[in-house]
Amino acid sequence: MKEVDHKNLRKCIAREAALLLYTSQEKEYKQAKRKAAKILGVRVLPSNLEIALELDKIAQEREGKERVQRLIQMREQALRIMETLARFHPKLVGSVWRGTIRYNSDIDISVSSDNPHEVLEILRGNGFKIERTEWQTVTKNGETKYSFHVYVDLPIGNKAEVVIVPSQERNSVWKCEIYGDKVTGLTINQLKQVLKENPTKKFLPFKCQ
């Protein structure tokens, strides 16, 4: 009985944390789960995966069919951007790859190049509206990595974030901090196949399916 209660409690906290994220009251999973536990007056903290699954449910409950159509539209727009940047080996990652978008989701695309400004100029030359750009640094295990981020305003009302990493990191695969699996993403050909065969397909760890 206690095991069942504990499981239900984790689910309640995960749901509350997911609501905080969905309504933009919190932006990070860590802060959302802590705040949710405080609101409910408990110390149990769910995993990021548990919260992500509840967040996906909330988005579907609140957005319904519109969400499904928007996912297809965003994947089609992602393909257009990726084909424009084909020489830089683009991959679709993030929630549009996963199939877990919500109303304020962006399109996330990773490309590799040692000349970020060349990527930027190609986007501009193909009519994409650049909102802003910035360098970002991430330090893990004592190693600092740099990436150039290009934020694009899209005519469909969404935004895209193109992350440019050095060419030597092109084949790097990293672990997802939310789902716990490898971030493989979709190449141009893979995305085309998805759009043709199953345009709303989800890419989640096997244990979630």
Mind listing the pLDDT tens digit of every residue in the chain (209 residues)? Answer: 345 466 788 999 999 999 999 999 999 999 999 999 999 988 889 999 999 999 999 999 999 999 999 999 999 999 999 999 999 999 999 999 999 999 999 999 999 999 999 999 999 999 999 999 999 998 766 778 889 999 999 988 889 999 999 998 888 888 899 999 999 999 999 999 999 999 999 999 876 65
Q: Can you name the residues that pair with 40 across neighbouring β-strands?
A: none
Whether 182 contacts 162, CB under 8 Å: no
φ, ψ for residue 74, nearest 5 deg: -70, -35
Domains belonging to the chain, first-starting first, are: 2-46 (no CATH), 65-201 (3.30.460)
pLDDT per residue as tens digits for the range 150-165: 999 998 888 999 999 9
**How far is Cα of residue 178 from the mean position of the Cα atoms in its chain?**
10
In whole angstroms, give the CA distance from residue 152 to residue 161. 6
Site of tokens 């469909």: 156
Asked if residues 185 and 176 have their Cβ atoms less than 8 Å apart, the reply is no
Q: Which residue has the tokens 């640094």?
A: 137
